[in-house]
Chains A and B, each alone.
Chain A
Amino acid sequence: MTQKYVGGCDVGSTTGKAAILDETGKVVASAIVPSEIDPEITSLKALEQACGQVPGLGSYKNLARIVGTGYGRNEVPFAHENISEISCHAMGTFYCNRDIKTIVDIGGQDVKTISIADDGSVLEFAMNDKCAAGTGRFLEAMSRIFRMDLDQFSLLSLKAVKIIPVTAQCSVFAESEVISLLARKSPPEEVAAGINAAVAKRCFSLLKRIGMRPLVTVTGGCAKNQGLIKAIKKSINMEVAPLPVDPQIIGALGAAVFAGRSGRG
């Protein structure tokens, strides 16, 4: 194998993501796998799946350098370095589009807003505190009430003509509020849109804490929820810049970019 590859692995609470870059810095493979209880196994699965897509690479052991990120970053024993997901999301986004200055990262267990400096480093960031409201877990719990997966839930909310506001910020109270609304025969699409609007409002308050600068993008698994993206656009009164890669792998991509630079150097 003459070509050298580097990898980034983002071990999240819901999924593990991996991205592989070649020597020119081009993304040659990526993978998303469900999280296992053991973050080490998650990272192994994600990396092996991504490496399997690269002819001649074979195993993660042939990667020149690996950077781990995400909540399980400390548990990736074969990573050469671990870097926080905040820095990795900033770098991954910077790699994709240098005009993007602000990120909303909606992950499984937290929501972060990140302000990016001109060199791709982090200027400022804010995170939700000890509360699941507005996270992927929150949306998962809400979609379960509708007996839908997240994709169906997203499509449902896009059908709404009106929005029924969901006022509760706490996941537990929001769940009971949504059940009551549905029991009162409120149109499900309007309730679903209300849920997305509540999450968008929370993102907006976190964006205000760091000083929102255009362009703004959304990363993380929840960025695929088009109903939520629509609600965020409305809430921030601004377009959401699209990304040329799957927004869910941005953290892993940023980690791979750092790996290519031999760490943060």
Chain B
Amino acid sequence: MKVFQDLLETPLNYLVEQAAADGRIPIGYSCSFVPEAFLMADKLFPVRLHAPGVAGTEIADIYLSNFICTYTRSLLEFAVDDRFDLLKGWVFVPSCVHMQRLYDNLEYLKKPAFSHILDVPRKVTAATLAWQTEELQALADKLASHFGVDMSHDSLNAAIAQWNRFAAVIQAIGELRKPPDPLITGTEFHRLLMAALVSPKDLILPKILDFKKEIEKRDGIGKFRARLMVTGSHLHDPELIRVMESQGGLVAADLFCTGSIPGFMPVEIGMKTNSDPIRALAEHAFKKTLCPRMMEDFDRRLKTIIDTVREYRIDGVVIEIIKFCDLWGVDSMPMVAALRKEGIPVLKLEREYAPGGEGQLRTRIQAFIESMGK
């Protein structure tokens, strides 16, 4: 487990450094609507942008107001501190207004040789799927022209196959969280998953497979008082999950950008998509990303949470929201009411991007578990 912890200590870890030294091209990205497999073509590899251990955002606060969430401010702070300098470029999505302002400021303050904002529609229809396919094609052309990388269908199909192999392993480990006596804690799972999202997949996969073998030999992980599902804003530091689990709340399922539900279903190539990998990736991004930025998608998100609660025998749902996150902040209001209507206990937690205030958090989680009679 320590290997994954170590990989999360810096924004660009030693595996990224190793791959870059081998002539490969690290591309940062901020949002799940950027298909990871797309950035795995040829010599490219994706690195999820995160700001581990951010201690303050003094410089970023000059450019972004205090009402902008601390995730975006933390990324800007790290960027101006040269912490992302190893990246050869980045791809952003106008996921929310805060992200758009971050991108604007990065363009002004720290523009890398390659930067791109991938426009993603806010509705899923046949027309927007076609739009998204064109957007990805434009990005593919730009990457090919800038880096001289092969973004052909064959190259993308190979990247998708590689990503699918990785996703299948993550899915299989995720399945180990389902039984009443699971083999892996939520903290371990999120350390592993987050480490995988910030590392070149081929270099981290052997470590993940070793860990999988290790946990499959376990008898179990001990007793927990309740099984929790966590959903909400960007949750990059597994510390929040560790604190929840320290109070007896096993985090057995999740639904957030860097969680596993439903993010790691394989990309379907050649079935519905006439073997067009770009269209398959566009379709996949729409299907696997349940983000409140999307319009008229509330019912699908709600249904996924309710289905997960049943499938994973969840006792209560924690909705965690980074302060000033408009998307999850607004979405959580009807979500809390809808889940309670289904008889599902819900705790809404407001937090900052960087973990802190452990005492308060412990009290809230413990009281939540107690209120469920556990």
Contacts and interface: CB of A to CB of B under 8 A. Distances in A.
A84 B363 contact: yes
* Dominant secondary structure at the B interface: helix
A121 B373 contact: yes
B359 A125 contact: no
B370 A264 contact: yes
A127 B364 contact: yes
Interface stretch (B16-24, B140-148, B268-276, B350-358): B350-358
B125 interface: no
Contact of A122 (B323, B360, B362, B371): B371
Contacts of B356: 130
A87 B371 contact: yes
A122 B359 contact: no
Contacts of B105: none
Contacts of A23: none
Contacts of B350: 129
A86 interface: yes
Contacts, number: 43
Contacts of B359: 71
Name, among B350, B359, B362, B370, the residue most crowded by chain A CB atoms within 10 Å (CB to CB): B370
B367 interface: yes
A83 interface: yes
Interface residues of A, number: 17
A123 interface: yes
B366 interface: yes
B360 A110 contact: yes
B360 A84 contact: no
Nearest to A123: B371
A130 B364 CA distance: 13
Given A129-B323, A129-B350, A130-B352, A83 B360 contact: no
A222 B371 CA distance: 25
Contacts of A87: 367, 370-371
A85 interface: yes
Nearest to A130: B357
Contact of B363 (A85, A121, A123, A124): A85
Contact of B367 (A71, A86, A130): A86
A71 B366 CA distance: 12
Contacts of A86: 363-364, 367, 370-371
B367 A125 contact: yes
A127 B360 CA distance: 9
Nearest to B369: A84
Contacts of B357: 130
A84 B323 contact: no
Interface in A86-116: 86-87, 110
7 contacts: A74-B362, A83-B370, A121-B371, A124-B371, A127-B363, A130-B352, A130-B356
Given A86-B370, A130-B356, 13 more contacts: A74-B362, A83-B366, A85-B363, A87-B367, A87-B371, A121-B371, A122-B367, A122-B370, A122-B371, A124-B371, A125-B371, A130-B357, A130-B360
Nearest 10 pairs of A and B residues by beta carbon = A86-B367, A122-B371, A84-B367, A84-B366, A87-B370, A84-B363, A130-B357, A71-B359, A129-B350, A87-B367
